[in-house]
C-alpha cells in the first residue's frame, strides 16, 4: 500500500499509529525513499539508502508482528548529514577528497537511534567538511531552500534543514560547530538543537574543530527534538570527551523564568527590521506572561567571531592533515612520489573554502604567531565562558535572534567570505562556551521568509532549555 496521503505529525504519533497497524514500517520507508529520490528538487540528498532502509523496516515490522517490544523511535525515518559514519554506506563530508569512501563503522549517535527503531533513509548534503554558512561550498553543488529555491538554506547543515522542510524525512541530524544546525533551522522554519559540548558522542563524526563540534537534531517540534536528543545523549566509551553526567529525561518546569538579552543586539545596525520587530514582540510577550526579562551587556561580543575563526581554523588545520591521499580517500593520478601525492591529492580534493581555512589555521599555529593568535584565542575563549556563566547565574536563558536576517539569495555572499563568517554572530557564543542552545521559529518577514529565536542555557541543563523553547514555540 502506498501512503500518498500520509501527513507526518510527530514521532510519538507515528510510533503509536505504527503499533496500531495503520501502516507498516516498510510502507513508511518506501514513502520517504520515493519522496527523497523523486521529490528532492533542492539537492538535499547525496544518497538515498533505499535498500538498507527497507531491510531495516522489514525487520522492524517482523519485530512488531511477533509482539516484541520496540524502541521509542520505532518508525522514525531520519536523514543524516554527510559527515556522519554509517557502516557499509558512503560518507564524504561533501568533499572530493572522500569521494566514493565507505564507512567501516557506525557513529554512536546513529547507532543509538537505530537501537530505538529509527530507520536511516540517506545522507544529506552539506558545506564541505562543515565549513560554511550557506551550503554553497559542497563539492556536489549547492542546496536550495524549500521555502524559496532562489535562497540558500543556511549552512553547514543545509541539506539536513532542506530535507526536513521539504518533508523528505521526519527528522534529520546535523553537526553544529558555530551555528551549523541553528542557522539553517532558522532559515528553513525549523527547530534546531546544539547540545552541551560532550553531551552527545562525537565518535563517528568527521571532525572539523574537535573542541567545538556537536551533533544535534533538526525537528518540526520541540518535543521531537527532545526525544531524539534523549536517545542520542549520554556517555560513550569511544569518545573520551563525552560526559558521564546523567541525562535528565524530564523537563525542569518552572512557573516563571528569567530571560536575559544583550542590548547590543537590539542596537545592531545589521539587524533586519522585521527581526528586531519580532524579537521585541517576543520579549514583550514573555513579560506579559509574567516572566522576567532583563537587559544585560556582553563585553566580548565583538571578539566572538574572530576568536571562533582563529581557534576553529587551527583545529581544522590539524584534523584535516589525515586526508592526504595516502591513508584513504582520493589519491591523485598525477602522483609520482610521496610529496606529489600529498600536494596533488589535497589540491584536487579540497575546495576553496577548506583550503582557505587550512591555510588560516596553519598560519595561526605557526612559529612566531602561535602566541599572538592561537594562545591568545584560547585565553579569550575562557573569558567568554566565564562571562557567559556569570550571566546565567542571574538568568535561566540568554535570548537572541538566531540570525540577524532571513535567508539570502544563492550567490549573494559567495565572493565575500568575511560576510559569510559574520553569519555566525549570534550563534558562536554557545560553541565557544560549550553551552546548549536551541532555535525555534519566531515568525516570518512580510514576504514569508522564516526567522528564528534562540535560547542559550546552562551547561548540561537541556531539560530546562526544552521547557523554555516550548514557551516560545
Residues with active-site annotation: 81, 156, 180
Q: How far apart are CA 431 and CA 439, in angstroms?
A: 14
Task: Mark 281-306 as b/e (b = at least 16 C-beta within 10 Å).
Answer: ebbeebeeeebebeeeebebbebbbe
Cell (9 digits) for 77: 525515518
What residues have CB less than 8 Å from 301, skipping those under 6 apart? Answer: 262, 264
Residues 423, 160 contacting (CB under 8 angstroms): no
Looking only at the bridges linking them, the beta strands covering 450-456 and 397-401 are: antiparallel
Distance of CA 194 to the CA centre of its chain: 7
For the chain, the first-to-last Cα distance in angstroms comes to: 35
Q: How far apart are CA 209 and CA 213, in angstroms?
A: 6
What are the Cα distances from residue 261, in Å, to 81, 186, 294, 395, 400? Answer: 32, 18, 6, 10, 6
Amino acid at each position: 500500500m502506498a501512503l500518498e496521503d500520509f501527513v507526518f505529525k510527530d514521532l510519538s504519533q507515528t510510533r503509536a499509529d505504527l503499533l496500531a497497524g495503520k501502516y507498516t514500517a516498510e510502507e513508511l520507508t518506501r514513502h520517504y525513499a520515493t519522496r527523497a529520490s523523486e521529490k528532492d528538487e533542492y539537492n538535499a540528498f547525496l544518497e538515498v539508502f533505499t535498500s538498507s532502509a527497507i531491510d531495516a523496516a522489514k525487520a522492524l515490522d517482523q519485530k512488531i508482528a511477533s509482539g516484541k517490544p520496540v524502541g521509542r523511535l520505532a518508525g522514525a525515518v531520519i536523514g543524516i548529514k554527510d559527515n556522519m559514519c554509517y557502516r557499509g554506506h558512503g560518507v564524504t563530508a561533501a568533499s572530493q577528497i572522500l569521494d566514493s569512501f565507505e564507512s567501516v563503522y557506525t557513529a554512536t549517535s546513529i547507532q543509538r537511534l537505530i537501537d530505538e527503531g529509527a530507520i536511516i533513509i540517506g545522507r544529506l548534503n552539506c558545506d564541505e567538511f562543515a565549513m560554511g554558512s550557506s551550503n554553497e561550498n559542497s563539492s556536489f553543488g549547492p542546496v536550495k531552500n524549500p521555502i524559496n529555491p532562489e535562497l540558500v538554506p543556511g549552512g553547514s547543515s543545509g541539506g539536513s534543514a532542506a530535507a526536513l522542510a521539504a518533508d523528505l524525512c521526519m527528522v534529520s541530524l546535523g553537526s553544529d560547530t558555530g551555528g551549523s544546525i541553528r542557522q539553517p533551522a532558522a532559515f528553513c522554519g525549523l527547530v534546531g538543537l546544539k547540545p552541551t559540548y560532550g553531551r552527545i558522542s562525537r565518535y563517528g563524526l568527521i571532525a572539523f574543530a574537535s573542541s567545538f563540534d556537536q551533533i544535534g537534531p533538526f525537528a518540526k517540534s520541540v518535543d521531537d527534538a527532545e526525544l531524539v536528543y534523549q536517545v542520542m545523549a549520554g556517555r560513550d566509551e569511544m569518545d573520551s570527551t563525552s560526559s558521564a553526567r546523567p541525562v535528565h529525561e524530564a523537563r525542569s518546569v518552572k512557573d516563571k523564568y528569567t530571560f536575559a538579552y544583550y542590548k547590543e543586539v537590539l542596537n545592531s545596525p545589521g539587524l533586519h527590521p522585521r527581526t528586531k520587530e519580532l524579537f521585541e514582540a517576543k520579549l514583550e510577550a514573555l513579560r506579559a506572561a509574567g516572566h522576567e526579562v532583563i537587559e544585560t551587556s556582553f563585553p566580548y561580543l565583538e571578539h566572538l567571531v574572530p576568536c571562533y575563526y582563529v581557534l576553529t581554523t587551527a583545529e581544522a588545520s590539524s584534523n584535516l592533515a589525515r586526508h592526504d591521499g595516502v591513508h584513504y580517500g582520493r589519491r591523485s593520478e598525477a602522483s609520482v612520489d610521496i610529496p606529489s601525492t600529498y600536494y596533488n591529492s589535497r589540491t584536487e580534493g579540497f575546495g576553496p573554502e577548506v583550503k582557505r581555512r587550512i591555510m588560516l589555521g596553519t598560519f595561526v599555529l605557526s612559529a612566531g604567531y602561535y602566541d599572538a593568535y592561537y594562545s591568545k584565542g584560547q585565553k579569550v575563549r575562557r573569558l567568554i565562558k566565564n562571562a557567559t556563566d556569570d550571566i546565567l547565574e542571574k538568568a535561566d536563558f540568554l535570548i537572541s535572534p538566531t540570525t540577524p536576517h532571513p535567508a539570502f539569495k544563492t550567490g549573494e555572499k559567495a565572493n565575500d567570505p568575511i560576510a559569510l563568517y559574520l553569519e555566525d554572530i549570534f550563534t558562536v557564543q554557545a560553541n565557544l562556551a560549550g553551552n546548549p542552545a536551541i532555535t525555534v521559529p519566531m515568525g516570518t518577514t512580510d514576504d514569508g521568509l522564516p526567522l528564528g529565536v534562540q535560547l542559550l542555557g546552562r551547561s548540561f541543563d537541556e531539560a530546562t532549555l526544552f521547557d523554555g523553547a516550548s514557551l516560545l514555540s
